Structure formats: structure tokens, C-alpha cells
Chains A and B, each alone.
Chain A
Amino acid sequence: MATLIPTLTLSSTDATTDLLNFSITDSLNITQDVVGPSKVKLTTSDLEIGPTSYGKSYVYLKNTDDTIAINIEITDGNSTMQLAAGEFAFFPWTGAAGIVAFSASGTPYLEYAIFEA
């Protein structure tokens, strides 16, 4: 069993007059399969990066491209996220529906990792 510590910090000096600046962290027990930080070239065709063989997991995604967006679908055809250039996501995933990625155009690279609890 391993411990995974994800931390998110959100900050803004002008979102509101009340400065936004907070961090949230968690401590997650990872006991099953892990896809370590990986990088894959996408096309406009579907690529399943998270198969349904996974159980309760935590997913990290990052679009490493400077211009091209990457679409993420969880359950084919269900548009869930669009990672613009440089954007990332971190979320819990049950594994009940697969995670599919494809580019809006061209061949951007997606960085991803999956941690099964």
C-alpha cells in the first residue's frame, strides 16, 4: 500500500475583492494498479487510456500541447472535458465507464496517470 498526496492551489488577485488563495490536499491509499506518469500522442481518433478493468481510482490528465485542445469522454460519445493547451484535471473515477481521449486536431501529447485505490 502506498500513500498518494494530491494538492491543489487556486489563486487570483482579481477574481473578487476578497483575494483567492487556498490550497487543499488529501491523503489517498493506493493499493491496486498504477499507471505511472505516461505520455501518449493523440490523433482525432478515440484512444482509450482508462479501461473499465479499473476499480475506484484517481486520474490525472494534462494537455502538454501549446495550442491544440484535447477532448476527454467518459462513456463514448459523452463529452466530459476539453483540456485546452496546458490544462490539467484530477478527479476520482469509478472505472465503470472507460476514459477515452482524442485531439481536436493534429497530434498533441497527453500526459496521464491512474492510481487505483
Chain B
Amino acid sequence: MATTAQISITSADLMPGSALNITASTTLTKAGVTADLDQKESGVIKLVSGTEYRLGPLATEMAGDAHDIASYLYVHNKTTEDATYYVDWGIHETMIGRLYAGDWMFIPWNASDDGAEIEIEPQGGTNIIEYCLFNSDVILPSAAA
């Protein structure tokens, strides 16, 4: 499952006389090795505001030791509402940033332990999130007896 991520960041007017043109590309692999990741999960979800949600599995729900647990997370806020609508994102209880309408993010998430889970919390109203997660094998929980 060779998956490639490419980014370009451009601006014609950020720094006068020097147009900005950053480009980078990487192939998504398991941590510490060049082997491809095994699983992909993606979707579009509606989330009501005021509730914290966990996006993606916990470390202990993924196969392998800590060095195998690498994930790549893409999140896009598809909401078309005004700036009062946004999604806070963070690691565990640490809020890191806000995705406003149209904003996206891409990170290599270090799922080192269960206290490093990705949390998102919509604000302002119902937000629509598109996401894609590339990760190591997930161990499904046992069914209820």
C-alpha cells in the first residue's frame, strides 16, 4: 500500500520580491522502516459542537510495539459556515489548533501510547469533517457476550 503525500505552499505576496514556493513529498511508511502501512480508514462525518471526539484508534488497539505504531492523519473541515464554526484538534487534553471552514491538516501522528490519542471538538454548531487515516493494523475489540 504505497501511498504518497505531496504538499505545496505558495504565496505571491507574502514576502515582497520573493514568491514563496515550498514543495515536499513523502511516502507513508511504518515507523522506523520502509515497509508500507497496512490499513486505511476514511470518511465524512457530521459532528455536533461541544463534545470531544476521539479520531482514530488508541495505541493499544493497534498491532505491534510502539515503534510500529505510525499513523498519518488528514483532516479537512468541509463546513461552509462562518468563522464561528471551527474544530479544535489536539493530542489527549492538549488543544493544538483550530480548523476553520475549508482548513485542512496533515501530520504523521505519533501514536506512542493511549494518552496520545487524537481529539477533535467542533464548535459553533454542526461541523462536517472529512478525514483519512493511514495506520498499522487495528485490533478489533471483542464482541459483547
Interface set of A (CB-CB < 8 Å, partner B): 2-16, 20, 24, 26-28, 30, 34, 36-37, 56, 60, 62, 69, 71, 74-75, 78-84, 86-94, 96-97, 113, 115
Contact = CB atoms under 8 A, between A and B. Distances in A.
A8 B3 contact: no
Contacts of B32: 69, 84
Contacts of B91: 74, 78-80
For B20, B92, B116, the residue with the greatest tally of chain A CB atoms inside 10 Å of its CB is: B20
B26 A86 contact: yes
13 contacts: A9-B6, A10-B4, A15-B3, A20-B3, A80-B91, A82-B110, A84-B31, A87-B108, A92-B89, A92-B96, A92-B103, A113-B22, A115-B14
Interface of B: 1-15, 20, 22, 24, 26, 29, 31-32, 40, 70, 74, 76, 89, 91-92, 94-100, 102-110, 112, 116, 132, 134
A14 to B, nearest CB: 6
A75 B98 CA distance: 16
B56 to A, nearest CB: 14
B112 to A, nearest CB: 5
A66 B99 CA distance: 31
The 4 residue pairs across chains A and B that have the minimum distance between CB atoms: A92-B97, A12-B3, A91-B105, A2-B14
